[in-house]
Amino acid sequence: MHRPISGLPTRAQILDFIEKSGSPAGKREIARAFGLTAQGKIALKALLKDMADEGLIDSAPGRSFHKMGGLPKVTVLRVADVDDGGNVWAVPEVWQAETPPPRLRVRERKRGELGIGQRVLARTEEAGSGWIAHPLKVLARASEQVLGVLREEAGRFWLTGVEKKERREFAVSDTGDAAAGDLVMCEMAGRPPKVTVRVVERLGDPFAPRSFSMIAIHKLGIPDVFAEETLEEAEEVARLPLGDDREDLRHLPIVAIDPADARDHDDAVWAAPDDDPANPGGWQAVVAIADVSFYVRPGSALDKEARSRGNSVYFPDQVVPMLPEILSAHVCSLKEGEDRAALACHLQITSSGVLKGWRFTRALVRIAANIAYEDAQATIDAGAGPMIEALKPLWACWGALGKARDAREPLDLDLPERRVVLDEKGRILSVAARERLDAHRLIEDYMIAANVAAAKALEAKKAPCMYRVHQAPSREKLVALKDYLETFDVPFALGQVVKPSTFNRIIDRLGDADFRPQVMEQVLRSQTQAYYAPANHGHFGLSLGSYAHFTSPIRRYADLVVHRALVAAYRLGPGGLLPDEGEMERIGEGISRLERRAMEAERDTVDRYVAAYLAEHVGEEVEARITGVQNYGFFATVDGVGGDGLMPVRDLGGEYYRFDEAARTLIGETSGDVFALGQRVRLRLAEANAVSGALRFELPGGKGAAPSRAPRVLKRRGRPANIRHQGKRR
């Protein structure tokens, strides 16, 4: 038993308590063991979140903690593989950490009793560098499913999986109604060497329009079909009268500025000089947001469906919306010339961009124009054109907001976003970086101002708020960043108070150096992942003390929660709700997890499109940059397009390459050639698999070819590395 101590326990003490506890150790148990006060419990919650971000602990479904890479002493496992030697390998049935789940070797009581897909209740123990599982009870079987493409050879069918890491092919025992070349969902069964799969669902042509996104949808279990009850309810609420008690803002030339291909329009903006003598040179602004809380009431079928989805998922070829189309694309969407229900955020902004005041009302708006970012930018640049009189004050007020932004110095990483452009038949036209315009930054700054106002408005009422939390980087991540920056002779002191501006100074110091993009990428990787929670820990990246998501309730459940809290706290009519802290915590954890799922789905789908685009260039040489180094090879990204591919070490030539784990380099024992993180290399594209999104490279000169030589040699922990230099989110 731990003796209560004053103050917050250290990470080591918490890990020791979790490991030695004879019962599940949750936040309550840890607080009790260390005798923490109410204030200490708040600090403990933040510390436990930091430890989870740092990979030290993981939270199990029962809200107990265990060491990351560790497991509960008794848990449910799923058999994932039986190797050629008959060894059974299992993984935890539930694993919520972002790191890969551990693989446990199962000690069968009777050899051959367990096959792939079976579930067991097992006692776990750590053995050396691995884990052993001792089955206690075999549970009801749950089939192991695998998504892949059918291939026929010599009259037999084989399944090639869609996972990048899956190198095996499986014999198909039953193809159902599927044919060679079809994308299918299969069930796995049996033991090596007789592991087979059976087709349970035919998904069609993997190269047909929308198939790449459907792969991600099926792989990650993203719900893409609404229940009949939900659709009927959406049709019903879409006919609700807007009411006479709304503030009428239809006289204001409010405009919605969005991507040209936007499927929904959550937000619209208006600004004008402030005539209040107490705000000389200041501005009035309105950020009008779709009033989704008016239509989607707490506890309704629509609400339950929206919460289970968490957010809309945006693919190059389709959108999986959080709300049915009649709401997301029509009744709630702020469309030009249509009367719409809005929750209006009225802002008073000083000449230096400080938020002087705010108020929230339920309003009736009629959008003056839906304008694409490019068109808005072109109009401002020309000084004339459609809606110029509405756009001019918006840009002028944004100039004031920019002063406040520059003063607080948020994290400024100008990393390009890949944009896949398709034609009307779903064929790929191009893959390129999305252009960043002042019009994009303008809308971002108005949205940030409204989000801050929403958080502060709820704080003023002492009402619950779903904060968007982004905490400062952990020391472990800063140490890793310091080591990385040393490879470019860029100093980084660990003892300093780290602010967003600290990282901005690093980037500014690089100037136009050739390696600037990968340093920005590494700085981004050093940041913690943002999440939703009712406890406020600020937003490090934006350098803001209070921040919530208010501006996108059509596509984010978090924003809907904030809308309901504002409606209830300020008595703005029906649809309000003030959940208790426990419920807010559960909602925050759920939607944070669903957000990560959506990000993975979107990223994987873009990777598949990039691979499909590059498939036409297989055999050609490409300029690439090394983004990762392992003992089995290095990963590289194609310049200007993206897409990560593997250059296997076995194809680097006849000599032996030594892997330096600390420096992340591969070093030729004979030649001294070095392949290092961030290095520019010229490679031949050997393979581009559109179904898995995987790329594979070769050296242009074949085996034995040397990496790019460099005029400058950088030090990597005392070893020279040949790196070529060409001189030159929230």
Under the banding of pLDDT at 50, 70 and 90, the label for residue 730 is very low
pLDDT score for 137: 84
Residues 339 and 240 in one domain: yes
pLDDT in tens, 238-274: 999 998 899 999 999 999 999 988 888 999 999 999 9
Query: Residue range 470-479: average pLDDT?
Result: 92
Under the banding of pLDDT at 50, 70 and 90, the label for residue 78 is confident
pLDDT score for 715: 30
Q: Does the pLDDT of residue 99 top 60, yes or no?
A: no
pLDDT score for 52: 67
- Cα end-to-end distance, the chain, whole Å: 43
Residues 386 and 459 in one domain: yes
| Nearest alpha-carbon partner for 44 in 11, 20, 17 | 11
Residues 299 and 380 in one domain: yes
Please tell me which residue, 7 or 689, carries the higher pLDDT value: 689
Q: Does the pLDDT of residue 646 top 70, yes or no?
A: yes
Residues with Cβ within 8 Å of residue 428, at least 6 apart in sequence = 420, 421, 422, 609, 612, 613
pLDDT score for 53: 57
Residue 249 covered by a domain? yes
| Contact of 184 with 159, CB cutoff 8 Å | yes
pLDDT in tens, 135-189: 988 876 555 678 899 999 999 999 998 887 776 789 999 999 999 999 998 888 7
d(CA 657, CA 674): 9
| Contact of 256 with 289, CB cutoff 8 Å | no
Give me the CATH number covering residue 155: 2.40.50.640
Residue 193 covered by a domain? yes
Residues with Cβ within 8 Å of residue 119, at least 6 apart in sequence = 76, 77, 78, 79, 93, 138, 139, 140, 141, 142
Please tell me which residue, 15 or 405, carries the higher pLDDT value: 405
Give me the CATH number covering residue 674: 2.40.50.140
Residue 311 covered by a domain? yes
Residues 233 and 313 in one domain: yes
**Domain total in the chain:** 6
| Contact of 562 with 447, CB cutoff 8 Å | no
Residues 283 and 361 in one domain: yes
Query: Residue range 553-559: average pLDDT?
Result: 97
Q: Does the pLDDT of residue 372 top 90, yes or no?
A: yes
pLDDT in tens, 658-703: 998 877 789 999 888 899 887 889 999 999 999 989 999 998 875 4
Residues with Cβ within 8 Å of residue 221, at least 6 apart in sequence = none
pLDDT score for 56: 65
In this structure, of 179-193, 351-365, 398-412, the range with the lowest mean pLDDT score is 179-193
Q: Does the pLDDT of residue 725 top 60, yes or no?
A: no
**33-61 exposure pattern, b = at least 16 Cβ within 10 A, e = fewer:** bbebeeebbeebbebbbbbbbbbbbbbbe
Look over the chain and give the mean of its residue pLDDT values, rounded to a whole number: 86
d(CA 426, CA 431): 13
d(CA 237, CA 243): 13
pLDDT score for 189: 78
Residue 124 covered by a domain? yes
d(CA 431, CA 421): 6
Residue 223 covered by a domain? no
| Nearest alpha-carbon partner for 61 in 28, 32, 95, 31 | 95
User: What is the reported pTM?
Assistant: 0.77
Query: Residue range 42-67: average pLDDT?
Result: 66
Query: Residue range 565-591: average pLDDT?
Result: 94
Under the banding of pLDDT at 50, 70 and 90, the label for residue 720 is very low
pLDDT score for 719: 30
Residues 481 and 572 in one domain: no
Residues spanned by the domain of 53: 11-59
Residue 343 covered by a domain? yes
Helix (H, G, I), strand (E, B) or coil at 591: helix
Residues 686 and 592 in one domain: no
Residues 241 and 186 in one domain: no
pLDDT score for 708: 42
Residues 320 and 391 in one domain: yes
Residues 552 and 588 in one domain: yes
| Contact of 434 with 419, CB cutoff 8 Å | yes
pLDDT score for 70: 56
Domain-ending residue, one of 84, 111, 138: 138
Residues with Cβ within 8 Å of residue 701, at least 6 apart in sequence = none
Under the banding of pLDDT at 50, 70 and 90, the label for residue 560 is very high
Residues 53 and 82 in one domain: no
Q: Does the pLDDT of residue 194 top 90, yes or no?
A: no
pLDDT score for 627: 84
pLDDT score for 96: 53
d(CA 115, CA 557): 40
pLDDT score for 146: 83
Residue 213 covered by a domain? no
Residues 156 and 301 in one domain: no
Q: Pick from 47-56, 58-67, 348-357 the range whose average pLDDT is largest.
A: 348-357
Neighbours of 84 (CB within 10 A): 7
Residue 216 covered by a domain? no
Please tell me which residue, 88 or 49, carries the higher pLDDT value: 88
pLDDT score for 716: 31
